[in-house]
Amino acid sequence: MTKRVVLIGHPVAHSLSGAMQQAAFDDQGIDAAYELWDRAPIALPDAIAEIRGSDDFLGANVTIPHKERVVPLVDRLTEEAQATGAVNTITREGKRLVGHNTDVPGFKVALDHLVGRQKMPRVAVVLGAGGGARAVVYGLIREGFQRIVVFNRHLHRAEGLVKHFGRSAAHMELKAMPWHESIIEAELAKSKVLVNATSIGLTSDISPIPADVIAPDLLVLDLIYARTRLLRDSEAGGSTVADGELMLLHQGAAAFTLWTGQPAPTDVMQKALSKARAGGVRSAEGEPTGEPDVATAGSAGSAGSAGA
């Protein structure tokens, strides 16, 4: 009987993960279907209960905005899910559900690729404090970063993130700071790595920060799977940049292995991603596709300060 894997998010229409995972199942001869479940937060507990209640399910992916909310709904957390307080993948152990966070290994691949042959830096600025940012901050702590400053539109969420990491960050400086351009600029001047883990730039061609605060030697990673305005500005100023493609691919590959017990066909998944993107499909993770409209790109500005 065909097994089921679902992506739970809100919204989830036109998922790139769907194309990527279905291609992997088909390539490996696994009789499984990847389904998209658009569930508002209020419907999340029922969705999780449905997966727990039927052997038909191999598991699930969880995306915006549920990654943190799903944590208390599963029965066991892996070390990475526990450490981040966020779950993006669920597997079944009999009637028990296990919450994993494969964004963590996905982020590691993306960071290693961005840093390349350079020495791993020690100071980073992270924009955003949602589920994605939690995987980023955890990954940076594990890499040995000594100072990480988290900026978020709603400061209390960044403060909650810092509090969550209290123990694992005890040996280093992890700070939440209010979203003011002058403070971001001052922190960027001391940093080597900038990660955008907000969804600013996802649906419109704006950058979270003005181009002139981005130093030329910065390494800039945008989790959004597109050549965002932030990345274009950074590249134009001489920075090294990467988008969220590698993270998306490798979080998906890790999830595939968890559900099936088999190595993921990453080349097949990569091709499916590229094809879906070229075909104008947008992801459940929200990545806009293709290059931004040049006309809009020329006129759009930075997202500015808090509340943008």
285 within 8 A of 226, measured Cβ to Cβ: no
Task: Examine residue 228 and tell whether it contacts ligand NDP (CB under 6 A).
Answer: no
Of 14 and 53, the one with the shorter C-beta distance to ligand NDP is 14
- Between CA 112 and CA 114 the distance in angstroms is 5
Rounded to a whole number of angstroms, the minimum distance from the CB of residue 122 to ligand NDP is 23
Task: Examine residue 163 and tell whether it contacts ligand NDP (CB under 6 A).
Answer: no
Among 214, 248, 254, 264, binds ligand NDP (CB under 6 A): 248
Rounded to a whole number of angstroms, the minimum distance from the CB of residue 262 to ligand NDP is 21
Task: Examine residue 152 and tell whether it contacts ligand NDP (CB under 6 A).
Answer: yes
Antiparallel, parallel or unpaired: β 89-93 and 96-100: antiparallel
Of 206 and 214, the one with the shorter C-beta distance to ligand NDP is 206
Task: Examine residue 187 and tell whether it contacts ligand NDP (CB under 6 A).
Answer: no
- Between CA 84 and CA 79 the distance in angstroms is 9
- Residue 289: count other Cβ atoms within 10 Å of its Cβ: 16
- Packing angle of the helix pair 16-27, 245-260 (nearest 10 deg): 50
CB neighbour class for 95 (10 Å; exposed up to 12, middle 13-18, buried from 19): exposed
Rounded to a whole number of angstroms, the minimum distance from the CB of residue 153 to ligand NDP is 3
- Provide the 8-state DSSP code for 286: -
Rounded to a whole number of angstroms, the minimum distance from the CB of residue 179 to ligand NDP is 7
Among 125, 174, 200, 213, binds ligand NDP (CB under 6 A): 200
The CB-nearest residue to ligand NDP is 130
Size of the site for ligand NDP (CB under 6 A): 32
- Near ligand NDP by CB under 6 A, which window of 6-14, 122-130, 141-149, 262-270? 122-130
Of 99 and 128, the one with the shorter C-beta distance to ligand NDP is 128
Task: Examine residue 225 and tell whether it contacts ligand NDP (CB under 6 A).
Answer: yes
What is the token pair recorded at 29? 């001869």
Calculate the alpha carbon distances from 135 to 86, 139, 161, 221, 308 in Å: 8, 6, 11, 14, 24
- Packing angle of the helix pair 245-260, 266-278 (nearest 10 deg): 130
Task: Examine residue 80 and tell whether it contacts ligand NDP (CB under 6 A).
Answer: no
Sequence-distant (6+) residues with CB within 8 A of 275 are: 19
- Between CA 285 and CA 9 the distance in angstroms is 8
Which residues within the stretch 276-305 sit at the binding site for ligand NDP (CB under 6 A)? 285-287, 303
Task: Examine residue 198 and tell whether it contacts ligand NDP (CB under 6 A).
Answer: yes
- Show which residues are catalytic: 67
Query: Which residues lie near ligand NDP (CB under 6 A)?
Result: 64-65, 67, 103, 106, 128-133, 152-154, 157, 197-200, 202, 223-225, 244, 247-248, 251, 285-287, 303, 308
